[in-house]
């Protein structure tokens, strides 16, 4: 046990030294392991991290998150080196939207504006008019002229939620996140019965029946803000379990209960296996070796940059 702790402290020290020597910045998503969050320069949701990536003066960006996030950082900084500790850290939602099939749908509806959630590949972004994240999606949809029909991809749950919020009818791609579709409504209501004063908070990637019972729906940052500013002291949290680390740090006196998953698992919570592919050891290795690196073709980056830039201007 002691050896593990020493190893962690030692690795974190080495990461901090390398970061300094190489003028690197570490951007970490809230779903990363605590030991990664501890060495990060910035921790945030996907929009905040994209903004940090766009503003950084560092020579190297180490993205502790999943592939589409690191790819977005590269598109925003084509001349910088962007590293991802494990290139296999993908996203089930991004994978649910293959470019060829999406291109066919777009061709069938040439008069539609295409709004894509940032959880998609760079190639899908090249087919988009504008990108959005869970924090700005409502604003982005509202920015599109009322008479213009919309295709929204790839998350059908976020799409359905946005249709209700904005009153806009949209053509939805049939994609979803395996982590957020894993929550069990029955089990959640059982937990709620035991904690009737709890507030239920959920990420909009969750299924409709979970969102319907939630007191608050928002991005990871939105949820953190809600828990901090709320007068309530117990929360049932329906998103990836990694967020609980930062949340509990922010509100040490409050009770946070992870929303239960349909499948029985030891922590009764949901973890994103892709996010968890990044480990402290892999983070250290990638900073030391400057590999694996995100490499994208110039033309792809230029095309994908346009809808991301539009989103940034509206955020």
Binding site membership for [4Fe-4S] cluster: which residues?
91, 177, 272
Question: Which neighbouring-strand residues pair with 29?
Answer: 44
19 binds, among ligand 13P, ligand SF4, none (CB under 5 to 8 A by kind): none
Min. distance of Cβ 65 from ligand 13P in angstroms? 8
Name the binder of 274 from ligand 13P, ligand SF4, none, CB < 5-8 A by kind.
Answer: ligand SF4
Does 119 interact with ligand SF4 (rule: CB under 6 A)? yes
| Position 240 contacts ligand SF4 (CB under 6 A) | yes
Which CB, 14 or 279, lies closer to ligand SF4? 279
Report the half-sphere exposure of 226 (CA within 13 A, side-chain side): 21
Minimal distance, residue 45 CB to ligand 13P, in Å: 3
Does 220 engage in binding with ligand 13P (CB under 6 A)? yes
Per CB under 6 A, which of residues 204..223 are in contact with ligand SF4?
205
* CA 208 vs CA 29, 93, 138, 203, 234: distances in Å: 25, 16, 17, 11, 22
Tokens of 302: 């230029």
Q: How far is the CB of 64 from ligand SF4 (least distance, A)?
A: 12
177 binds ligand SF4 (CB under 6 A): yes
Going residue by residue from 55 to 84, which x/- string records binding to ligand SF4, judged by CB under 6 A? -----------x------------------
Residue 269 binds ligand SF4 (CB under 6 A) = no
Judged by beta carbon, residue 125 or residue 203, the one nearer ligand 13P is 203
**Stretch 4-43 residues interacting with ligand SF4 (CB under 6 A):** none
> Across-strand partners of 258?
237
Dmax (CA) for the chain in angstroms is 63
Answer for which of 116, 133, 270, 278 binds ligand 13P (CB under 6 A) is: 133
Decide: is 206 part of the binding site for ligand 13P (CB under 6 A). Answer: no
Residue 4, beta-bridge partner list: none
Min dist CB 58 to ligand 13P, Å, is 21
Residues engaged in binding ligand 13P (CB under 6 A): 45-46, 119, 133-134, 177, 203, 205, 219-220
Residues engaged in binding ligand SF4 (CB under 6 A): 66, 91-93, 119, 177-180, 205, 240, 272, 274-275
């Amino acid at each position: 046990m002691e050896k593990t702790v020493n190893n962690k402290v030692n690795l974190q020290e080495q990461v901090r030294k390398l970061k300094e020597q190489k003028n690197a910045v570490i951007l970490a998503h809230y779903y990363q392991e605590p030991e990664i969050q501890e060495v990060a320069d910035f921790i945030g949701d996907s929009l905040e991290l994209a903004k940090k990536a766009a503003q950084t003066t560092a020579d190297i960006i180490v993205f502790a998150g999943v592939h589409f996030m690191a790819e977005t950082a590269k598109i925003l900084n084509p001349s910088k080196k962007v590293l991802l500790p494990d290139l296999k850290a993908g996203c089930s939602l991004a994978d649910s939207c293959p470019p060829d099939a999406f291109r066919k749908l777009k061709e069938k509806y040439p008069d539609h504006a295409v709004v894509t959630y940032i959880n998609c590949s760079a190639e899908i972004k090249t087919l988009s008019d504008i990108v959005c994240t869970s924090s700005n999606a409502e604003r982005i949809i509202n920015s599109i002229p009322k008479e213009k029909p919309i295709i929204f991809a790839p998350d059908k749950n976020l799409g359905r939620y946005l249709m209700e919020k904005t009153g806009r009818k949209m053509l939805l791609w049939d994609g979803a996140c395996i982590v957020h579709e894993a929550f069990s409504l029955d089990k959640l209501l059982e937990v709620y019965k035991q904690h009737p004063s709890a507030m239920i908070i959920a990420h909009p990637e969750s299924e409709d029946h979970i969102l319907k019972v939630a007191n608050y729906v928002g991005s990871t940052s939105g949820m953190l803000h809600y828990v901090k500013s709320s007068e309530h002291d117990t929360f049932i949290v329906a998103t990836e379990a990694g967020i609980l680390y930062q949340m509990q740090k922010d509100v040490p006196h409050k009770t946070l209960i992870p929303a239960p998953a349909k499948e029985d698992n030891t922590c009764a919570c949901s973890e994103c296996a892709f996010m968890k592919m990044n480990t402290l050891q892999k983070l250290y290795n990638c900073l030391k070796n400057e590999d694996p690196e995100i490499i994208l073709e110039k033309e792809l980056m230029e095309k994908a940059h346009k809808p991301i830039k539009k989103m940034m201007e509206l955020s």
